[in-house]
Structure 1
Amino acid sequence: MASTQQSIEKISINQKIGLLVPYVKKRIMAQVQSVALIVIYLICFQTIVLNIAISEAAIVATGISVVVLGLAFFMEGLFLGLMPLGEVIGIKLPQKTKLPIILTFAFILGIGATFAEPAIGILKAAGAYVKAWDAPLLFLILNKYSNYLVYSVSVGVGIAVLFGMLRFLYGWSLKPFIYILVGILSAFSFWSLFQPNMKFLTGLAWDCGAVTTGPVTVPLVLALGIGICRIASGGTSESSGLGVVTLASLFPILAVLSLGAFYLNIVPHPTEEAKFFARENRSKTLNLFNDKNEMIGYALQNAQANSQIALFDGSQEKMLEFIGKLKKDPILRKSVFGKEDIELLKNWAVQKGIESQRLAIFCEPNALKEALKNYSGVKNIKTSPVDVLLRNGKAAVQAIIPLTIFFFLVLFLVLRDKLPRPDEIILGIILAVVGMCLFNVGIELGLSKLGNSVGSNIPSSFTKISLINERQTIINFNEDIVQSAIKPNGEKEKFFHANIKNEYVPIPFVQSAYDASNKQYIYTPTKGPLFGEEKGILGFLVVLLFAFIMGYGATLAEPALNALGLKVEELTVGTFEKSLLIRTVASGVGIGMLLGVVKIIWNVPLVYLLIPPYLLLLIITKISTEEFVNIAWDSAGVTTGPITVPLVLAVGLGIGKQVNVVEGFGILSLASVCPILAVLTVGLYVNKKRKAMQQESA
């Protein structure tokens, strides 16, 4: 032992690095493989098919690189730290404690694992896309009560893990759980369809079921379950491990729908924005915000001027007086805009303010004209990289450390055991925290921006869209340069020529985009329809094909699906081959993505697309064997990994924003149900084939 230690110490730094580099490279390349396919596909589709440049390409590229690095760190930390802890506790807990303690641990484990899921934070970011007056309840839960959303999802997972442990212990069938949960969820969702607020929450609730079954929850729960199954009589660890993913994806849906029903009566009904801010709705509208100043800030940044005035009892003078106070009082600015920075106020005035609001800030026309030059175009107040890192670092610590402390308390106080391989486990925990921080930074800077960019531009395939990110303000504009043209039908239209990127291009003249008093014209480029006529079938087919390929390709890149395929092939003794499972699941996800895009573009209620497949699944589940039921229902969970979830959510929300639907949720839920249907259907065929082979051999 001493000689071994001495030989290790004699290894030089360069030799240690030489040993470490291949290992690190292998781990990073594994994450590159899971990210590369879908990212390259999205980039190529936008830049080649749509011929639209990626906005903030350098930041997006940096973000994607950080995602890869963060995911590599996180997964390594998970395997070195959290999973060994979970497995040790899973083995020793049934030996030294009674059932109530085991179930309590399982419940808390489910809650803690959900907080540690890398993709769970994307739910909070989704709130920025929802208008408060269009879907007040959805807005409330995604913004003010976003933490409650995460809490409800985590409690749902906790309950799922609790029942999962009971299944592990007693060998219960998964089928009764499916019948009861799907039945309740279908009825709940159908009822929500007739509630003005609840119907907009349904997509988010069902999508939450896909977010929870990520790289933290499933391995930790399985580690605990396998440990319990080794001790408990009856059942095998291999087969009992299946089914827990299903429960962890169904219970959170019920939890989120219940959360919405609980807060249903404190929010106003969806309405026009002016009525939303009117005095008669003020008390319920205020419930959506932390205070009145935050509500005013939201109105200033998102509502029209007449709606903003409604907050000041219809008095423009009171509104302008308040804006004047904003200019002078940094504390008030922070309570309204979230930051004290005066530049944020000036940027708002130029980009979104009306003439009187601008003058209230810049005081005189000459100062306003100068500001129009300085703040022309689409400009955002950039967030400091340090702020982004600190914010996501804090979130990572809050997600990982409480779960770790809980594990330590159970190990030391309940089991009274020592920490196995403490150096590895501590290193793993540190890597998990660092990895989650970097991963969240990468999502914010890279994946979300890329997904939203592609989603916002996809509708150009079938309709004309405005390229907001390419908006320019032309100063010193003179109407004398405006010319007229005539169409074949005799209709006249106005246009002018401008030098854009050293090219003279004709630009349609839109009177509403011209500010005569300041002699500026806001030019917003448009694109589309690229394929066929306006809202023609060819353009829609291109979008649907895009969605199918995205779902199919992203699923093939999921490492968890490959692992499931090997397990299924082993359990079925080669009857259900790994390649067949992978192709079946990928096709199901592709079809689900396609239906999700249909739901968003045509604003189809999710219930119409989601409930019929689930009701059909109940019938097929009834006639399928327990073996294939577990395989099929779990297959949906492995398709929604930490890369797929933020990208698909961002794409859906981007499409929804561009086609002016209230919310863009539902793609993930449809991408989850279709693989189950596909695998169960193929399972019936495989089972029939297996019986035929057995009869022939007999």
Structure 2
Amino acid sequence: MKPKGFCRFITIERNEIYLNVLLKLKEVLYSVLPITVIVMILNFTVAPLDISLIVKFLIGTVLIIIGLSTFLFGIDIGIIPIGNAMGLTIVKANKLWVVVIAGLILGFFISIAEPDLYILASQVDFVTSGLISRESIVAVVSVGIGAMLSLGFIRIVHNISLHKVLTVLYAIIFILALFTSREFLAISFDASGATTGAMTVPFILALATSVSALKKDSKASEEDNFGLVAIVSAGAILAVMIMSVISKTDTITASLEYNKATSTSIISSFVQKIATIALEVILALLPILIIFLLFQKISFKLSRKAFKKVLFGLLFTFIGFVLFLVGVNGGFMDVGAVIGYSVASLENKFYLVIVGFILGSVTVLAEPAVYVLTHQIEDVTSGYVKRKIVIISLAIGVGIAVALSMIRILVPEVQLWHYLLPGYLISLAMSYFVPKLFVGIAFDSGGVASGPMTATFILAFAHGAADAVEEANVLIDGFGMIAMVALTPLIALQILGFIFKVKSKKGGIKKSDD
């Protein structure tokens, strides 16, 4: 009887699945195809590629498109409902210790399942030849995420101003930065952007929505929908910095060997990775499944249909996660590194800055989560702040961020903190004058802008460029890219917040967000 019922369920849900997958596929096509076109243009102009690399890149592109579409659909019907249900359960407990422990556990396990973090940690492992292992980065960052998620819950429950919490957190970060090695400084800020990716952001936003929705003050509830991702991002930075201070690993060197690798079989470079990646994804998602099943028995009590839908969502998440990571590891990042190396090797170094700006602008336009964020801003401001203006601002900002990163690679005297320190000081200062709603949106947007495309192709491009420039260090100068991409939206969207505030005072919008 159960198999028949299960088949009926599949038949009933089939149309909904097809429709939603097609919508996700459309979003992801917008995400990946612009970068694919630019790569082909570069191949025929300044950075010719080996035919085997091109074929691997195209196969990887197809796998990424299918995988990311499936993954995002699984997030919608599996991960987000779990996040909403968990948030309601936490608040209903009405006990601070429950909130703290729940934040630690959920933050840790959801971070472990984040694709962007796996990609960043794998690249750190690769360029350091295993001296900084992937497992250590994932574990340390996940602990930091869990700790800050607990702090974020406490902030919402006790109505603590977001800008005050962020000021304290970044003051601690700036102090720790004095004792952090240059290698770990870049990795720590990159971890912040990579952690808040396709898995973490929807889950955390779902938790924030559920926790804040139970507030009696509707204005406070609306504002608390944003800001939790920002606090969590700071946790990743703090965790890696503390790791640096404790381990005292300040003599690490790094290099790339992508230009020496030649595979005898293009297909085998993908097939060989499937089993290993599938096992890793199972281990990453298993804790979430176990937590869901336990709470379904104890608290959630979802209907049979809703329960099966969530399980289907987790299945789609698993399949999409595997395809995405296989596509990324099978050739997508290799091409990014080779193009970065080729462009940086040109006699005219200005080409590297220009290509960096173009890739940065196109990448942020391509991130699927940017479409969600821009629609959200347009809805909150009742259409007064047009999403087109937001997208253009983000594109220019992120393009400048990547271009500045290329300058840092070319000019050894320019260090990452020369950008980050004034950038975050300006952002924090602005947070005291911008409407509170925009503070949360702006600081959350850093995680949105630094999504899967930034964590894969753009970061690999930076690594290749750093390897080609004799004065540059791959570990110090090659990392820090995601950090820059995560920084610029903080300023760009808070500027829009200022504009929104000025216009509203002139009578353009009857809304008190101050």
TM range (shorter): 0.7 to 0.9
Please tell me whether residue 547 in structure 1 is matched to residue 432 in structure 2. no
What one-letter code is carried by the residue in structure 1 that aligns with 2:84?
A: E
CA 1:244–1:43 in structure 2 vs 1: closer, same or farther (change >3 Å)? farther
Which structure exhibits the higher relative contact order, with contacts defined as CA atoms closer than 8 Å and separated by 6 or more residues? 2
Q: Supply the distance in 2 between the matched residues of 1:86 and 1:190 (Cα, whole angstroms).
A: 37
Please tell me whether residue 655 in structure 1 is matched to residue 465 in structure 2. yes
Written as runs of structure 1 = structure 2, the 5 A alignment for 1:186-335 is 186-192=174-180, 198-235=181-218, 236-264=220-248, 267=249, 269=251
Per-residue deviation, residues 162-207 of structure 1 (Å, max 9, x unmatched): 1222233233211112211222222322443xxxxx1121111110
What one-letter code is carried by the residue in structure 2 that aligns with 1:207?
A: D
Aligned partners of 1:46 and 1:457 also within 8 Å: no
What one-letter code is carried by the residue in structure 2 that aligns with 1:251?
A: G
Please tell me whether residue 417 in structure 1 is matched to residue 301 in structure 2. yes
Please tell me whether residue 429 in structure 1 is matched to residue 314 in structure 2. yes
Please tell me whether residue 161 in structure 1 is matched to residue 131 in structure 2. no
Please tell me whether residue 101 in structure 1 is matched to residue 71 in structure 2. no
CA 1:72–1:175 in structure 2 vs 1: closer, same or farther (change >3 Å)? same
Per-residue deviation, residues 442-470 of structure 1 (Å, max 9, x unmatched): 11013212211211111133xxxxxxxxx
Please tell me whether residue 176 in structure 1 is matched to residue 164 in structure 2. yes
Point out the structure with the larger strand share: 1
Q: Supply the distance in 1 between the matched residues of 2:224 and 2:461 (Cα, whole angstroms).
A: 36
Aligned partners of 1:89 and 1:411 also within 8 Å: no
What one-letter code is carried by the residue in structure 2 that aligns with 1:166?
A: I
CA 1:231–1:63 in structure 2 vs 1: closer, same or farther (change >3 Å)? same
Aligned partners of 2:119 and 2:456 also within 8 Å: yes
Q: Supply the distance in 1 between the matched residues of 2:488 and 2:14 (Cα, whole angstroms).
A: 46
Structure 1 residue aligned with 2:490, among 664, 670, 676? 676
2:394 equivalent in structure 1 = 585
CA 1:622–1:55 in structure 2 vs 1: closer, same or farther (change >3 Å)? farther
Structure 1 residue aligned with 2:54, among 51, 54, 57? 57
Q: Supply the distance in 1 between the matched residues of 2:297 and 2:16 (Cα, whole angstroms).
A: 35
2:365 equivalent in structure 1 = 556
CA 1:676–1:189 in structure 2 vs 1: closer, same or farther (change >3 Å)? same
1:600 equivalent in structure 2 = 409
CA 1:418–1:211 in structure 2 vs 1: closer, same or farther (change >3 Å)? same
Q: Supply the distance in 1 between the matched residues of 2:458 and 2:131 (Cα, whole angstroms).
A: 22
Q: Supply the distance in 2 between the matched residues of 1:17 and 1:227 (Cα, whole angstroms).
A: 29
Aligned partners of 1:632 and 1:676 also within 8 Å: yes
1:391 equivalent in structure 2 = 276
Deviation, 1:259, is 0.5
Aligned partners of 2:90 and 2:102 also within 8 Å: no
Aligned partners of 1:213 and 1:245 also within 8 Å: yes
What one-letter code is carried by the residue in structure 2 that aligns with 1:201?
A: F
Q: Which runs of 5+ in 2 are unaligned?
A: none
Deviation, 1:407, is 2.3
- Count of residues paired in the alignment: 495
Please tell me whether residue 407 in structure 1 is matched to residue 299 in structure 2. no
1:281 equivalent in structure 2 = none
Q: Supply the distance in 2 between the matched residues of 1:255 and 1:431 (Cα, whole angstroms).
A: 31
Aligned partners of 1:587 and 1:675 also within 8 Å: no
Aligned partners of 1:47 and 1:53 also within 8 Å: no
Q: Supply the distance in 2 between the matched residues of 1:85 and 1:16 (Cα, whole angstroms).
A: 19
Written as runs of structure 1 = structure 2, the 5 A alignment for 1:8-157 is 24-53=21-50, 55-96=52-93, 98-127=95-124, 130=127, 140-141=131-132, 143=133, 146-157=134-145
Structure 2 residue aligned with 1:569, among 378, 390, 401? 378
Q: TM-score, normalised by structure 2?
A: 0.87
CA 1:16–1:556 in structure 2 vs 1: closer, same or farther (change >3 Å)? closer
Written as runs of structure 1 = structure 2, the 5 A alignment for 1:372-521 is 379-380=262-263, 385-413=270-298, 415=299, 417-418=301-302, 421-461=306-346
Deviation, 1:395, is 0.9
SS at match of 2:161: coil
Aligned partners of 2:28 and 2:368 also within 8 Å: no
1:628 equivalent in structure 2 = 438
Aligned partners of 1:585 and 1:635 also within 8 Å: no
Q: Supply the distance in 1 between the matched residues of 2:105 and 2:353 (Cα, whole angstroms).
A: 41
Q: Supply the distance in 1 between the matched residues of 2:495 and 2:221 (Cα, whole angstroms).
A: 26
Per-residue deviation, residues 258-308 of structure 1 (Å, max 9, x unmatched): 0111111xx57469x9xxxxxxxxxxxxxxxxxxxxxxxx9xx99xxxxxx
CA 1:553–1:403 in structure 2 vs 1: closer, same or farther (change >3 Å)? same
Deviation, 1:611, is 1.0
Q: Supply the distance in 2 between the matched residues of 1:153 and 1:20 (Cα, whole angstroms).
A: 34
CA 1:684–1:21 in structure 2 vs 1: closer, same or farther (change >3 Å)? closer
CA 1:170–1:572 in structure 2 vs 1: closer, same or farther (change >3 Å)? farther
Q: Supply the distance in 2 between the matched residues of 1:588 and 1:427 (Cα, whole angstroms).
A: 38
Aligned partners of 2:64 and 2:327 also within 8 Å: yes
CA 1:406–1:50 in structure 2 vs 1: closer, same or farther (change >3 Å)? same
Deviation, 1:691, is 2.0
Q: Supply the distance in 1 between the matched residues of 2:381 and 2:468 (Cα, whole angstroms).
A: 46
Deviation, 1:255, is 0.6
Please tell me whether residue 685 in structure 1 is matched to residue 488 in structure 2. no
Q: Supply the distance in 2 between the matched residues of 1:694 and 1:86 (Cα, whole angstroms).
A: 36
Deviation, 1:381, is 7.2
Deviation, 1:124, is 3.0
SS at match of 1:48: coil
Per-residue deviation, residues 78-115 of structure 1 (Å, max 9, x unmatched): 22222212212322442355332233212211111111
Aligned partners of 1:46 and 1:53 also within 8 Å: no
Aligned partners of 2:378 and 2:387 also within 8 Å: yes
Deviation, 1:18, is 8.7
Q: Supply the distance in 2 between the matched residues of 1:176 and 1:240 (Cα, whole angstroms).
A: 14
Per-residue deviation, residues 432-451 of structure 1 (Å, max 9, x unmatched): 11111111101101321221
Deviation, 1:226, is 1.6
Q: Which runs of 5+ in 1 are unaligned?
A: 133-138, 193-197, 274-297, 303-350, 352-376, 462-528, 530-538
**Higher radius of gyration, 1 or 2:** 1
Identity %: 26
CA 1:620–1:83 in structure 2 vs 1: closer, same or farther (change >3 Å)? closer
Aligned partners of 2:333 and 2:456 also within 8 Å: yes
